[in-house]
Amino acid sequence: MKIIIVGTGISGLTAYHFLHRFLTPIIPDLEIDAYESYSTPSIGIGGTLGLAPNGLYTIKLISEQAHATILSSGFPCAKFEFRNSKGKVLGLMPVGSPERYPGTGGEVMHSRSAIYEEILKVLEGQGARIHYGKTVTAVTPKEEGVEVTFEDGEVKMADLVIGADGIKSTVRRAVFPGVEARFEGLVGVGSTVPYSAIPSSEHPREIPYDYKNTKYSPTVMTHGSNGFFGYSPINPKTGDEGRYQWWSTAESDSESRDLPIEEIERQLLERHKDWVNPQGEKVIESIIRFAIQQHKDSADTDRSKRILVLPNYYMQIMERYHSDDGRILLMGDSAHVMPPHSGQGVSLASEDGYVYARLLAHEIQRTKATETNDYKAALSTAGKYYTEMRKPRNDKIMAVAARAGNMKRNLSWWEEKSRDFFFGLFLRFAPESMHDGTFGYKVDEEVDKFLKTRP
């Protein structure tokens, strides 16, 4: 059996790992090749994120060592502090403690690059066949399989092609022409800065952060009438080794990523210059000014100091994630574009890979496909089961993310006052169990339950 994975971001890497793990013992002639348009591994590329307990649980299924390294190098933070731009604390939100979700480590703030690197190490140790500098230009179903055409003219055939090639997926266009991700009118801007760039009034009062016995959080989310600004530590260190992430989200008519730094500076300061913390300090303005100067001084030589402009996208909810015959399959943002407001992009992409690999292995064994070297029935049913399992969960989280994104749009005076009142009321009574459906999801146990209801 020949499998081609298009895209080697976190989605593609996790898919590769789980397919290799579950199919190698049952398919003697298994070949898996992954193709990436970047000329090298994308270490150091990408922004920062919050990795939720369900994502950490799935990464632990890949490698306990990778899970432990990610936990120890990130900033565990089981609560977020919400404020308005005038410095009023609206309340704290529980976002996943280690006690509530045992074995995961709880919510952790981190860089996308560090998570990617740990998963890549696992695959390299397994001898994964990853080909860099290979851009896919077409994916074409044929009678004998699926044909994959590359920019350099090379053509490959496969029994199964998995699209893990992100928001503007080439593989998706082959299965669902006309279904494209669209700009949602919000743009995120952000980077990382050293610990010293953050006023001491905002620093964690203890390392590690004592989320159990505190009424504050160093992970701060501030909403105004014209956007949003957040900042948080992304590692458990202080001094020169400590790092913070910051990000601003607001409405925009443009989805360009290539704004001049002077224009980024103008927009950020115009939007946030009067925003204050509870002590009346202009913390956000000072972060912006430091980050802008850092970018001007070092962005050309140090990628970690570059300010990223990231348009937010949405996509119509798809009816299915597989072709009619199941020989082409979509995962991660190729299947369900997850806006950053969800905090679930990496987590859901990782779950996708595990679910599909388990379902395909089950169908190959059930149909005895290796005996006849005919995988058509197994691929068809596994694709249907995959959509059946993943779509309801992904759709629900996408809907929640859309509502969260709307809180970051321009609001009238009355809308802003209503948001602060009702959101503050909600935070006052929000139970820790509010995220159980998302954070408490154990992907291996869910597949076990699903398969018990099938032949």
pLDDT classification of 452: cutoffs 50, 70, 90: very high
Contact 313, 167 (CB under 8 A): yes
206-215 residue pLDDT tens: 888 888 888 8
How much is the pTM? 0.95
282-339 residue pLDDT tens: 999 999 999 999 999 998 888 888 999 999 998 888 999 999 999 999 999 999 998 8
What is the DSSP track for 158-188? ESEEEE---TT-HHHHHHSTT---EEEEEEE
Identify whether 311 is preceded by a cis peptide bond (ω within 30 of 0). Answer: no
46-66 residue pLDDT tens: 789 999 999 999 999 999 999
Residue reference for tokens 């996790």? 14
pLDDT at 44: 65
- Across residues 67-84, what is the average pLDDT? 96
What is the DSSP track for 232-255? EESSS--GGG-EEEEEEEEE-S--
- Across residues 33-55, what is the average pLDDT? 89
Kindly list the domain boundaries of the chain, sorted by start residue.
Answer: 2-183+312-452
DSSP secondary structure letter of residue 340: G
Instruction: State how far the Cα of 411 lies from the Cα of 421, in Å rounded to an integer.
Output: 14
Instruction: State how far the Cα of 434 lies from the Cα of 422, in Å rounded to an integer.
Output: 16
Vertex 304: Cα angle to 301 and 309 (nearest 5)? 105
Q: Reduce the DSSP state of residue 86 to 3 states and report it.
A: coil
Whole-number average pLDDT of the chain: 95
The architecture that CATH gives domain 2-183+312-452 is: 3-Layer(bba) Sandwich (3.50)
Instruction: State how far the Cα of 165 lies from the Cα of 331, in Å rounded to an integer.
Output: 8
404 or 139, which is more confident?
139
pLDDT classification of 33: cutoffs 50, 70, 90: very high
Vertex 367: Cα angle to 361 and 156 (nearest 5)? 60
Q: What is the dihedral of CA 257, 408, 76, 194, to 10 degrees?
A: 50
DSSP secondary structure letter of residue 427: H
Written as one letter, the residue type at 141 is P
Contact 84, 220 (CB under 8 A): no
- Across residues 168-191, what is the average pLDDT? 94
Q: Residue 404 to residues 36, 146, 228, 343, 363: CA-CA distances in angstroms?
A: 32, 39, 11, 10, 38
pLDDT at 103: 94
Written as one letter, the residue type at 66 is A
